[in-house]
Amino acid sequence: MGAGLKHRWRVDQNYLLGITAGQWRRLLRENHYAVDAAGIETAFLYPTQGLYMASIGDLPGDFAIAICRAYNEWVQDFCSAAPGRLLPAGMLVGLHDPVLATEEARRLAAEGFRAVFVRPNPIAGRNLDDAAYEPLWAACAEGGMAVAVHEGFGSHLPSAGADRFLGFFSCHTAAHPIEQMLAVLSLIGGGVLERHPTLRVAFLEAGCGWVPYWLWRMDEHWEATRGVAGEPRLPLKPSDYFRRQAWVSCDPEEPDLGRVIDLIGAGRVVFGSDYPHPDHVWPRSVEAIRAIPLSDEARRKILWDNPRALYGLD
């Protein structure tokens, strides 16, 4: 994308969001206030609009990755005003051209990004375990960048529930957890974590209550299909890969968080505030996670140790 077109795209996006240059400065101040109000020392920033900008199935690959790069340059600049406090997660939802996506991942690693985010949805008929993405996962692992999987209902991509429901209630209820389940199935059952043992992955904004059941079901099928032609050849149980390389974000209101921790371990859960979405009242969402009856060790892991391990900040 040329400089002129990139500038026009940025202006258009700001216009669509109703945001001026002065409002961006106000947004930065608001983010500072938000993390201060909640007592957060470091926050990784994930977008809302960014989940959709390049999430169109038939978008040309070069245009899709140009959109991602424009966002990545902007969020890097935005976070540079608060180094060490606000940290960017690079956008890689435009996986239409795996070669270009890999090049952008390498560029982000060289720029010091600690994470990128992708969508769980198929793009051009490819799941996340497609062979075309092998160089991408290798680049993320070699660059020390975590890969965060983040669904967002309403894209122009195949999405669980959208093929049979019309309303927000049904589609949004189904999309987030089911798409994350399918992403876990792809990355573990498809052998990605086996082939890339240093790759760190996270499954965000779908709660964590689904994880124990899904790992149990995958383990059961692993046991039943071992040695069967055409089935995954995994030396470890699916749950072992998850406990070795994966994290899941929790919601503060989840009623069974303690049970989930008992089943998958306190070291596998992180907290996502979802600020500034209305799902959780800020900063009470942080207060809520602190108030859950957990051991001091579990709470420290969820709020400090685990995100540092996920993002390679140790």
Contacts made by residues 129-136, CB under 8 angstroms, sequence distance 24+:
129/186, 129/187, 129/189, 129/190, 129/191, 129/192, 130/98, 132/98, 133/95, 133/98, 133/101, 133/192, 134/195, 135/98, 135/99, 135/102, 136/92, 136/95, 136/98, 136/101, 136/102, 136/105
pLDDT in tens for each of the 314 residues of the chain?
A: 455 444 444 544 444 444 555 555 666 666 665 667 667 888 899 988 778 888 888 899 999 999 999 999 999 998 998 888 899 999 999 999 999 999 999 999 999 999 999 999 999 999 999 999 999 999 999 999 999 999 888 888 888 888 899 999 999 999 999 999 999 999 999 999 999 999 999 999 999 999 999 999 999 999 999 999 999 999 999 999 999 999 999 987 788 888 899 999 999 999 987 776 666 666 677 777 788 888 999 999 999 999 999 999 97
| Strand partners of residue 43 | 86
Task: Record the pTM.
Answer: 0.89
Q: Which two tokens stand for residue 179?
A: 């798409």
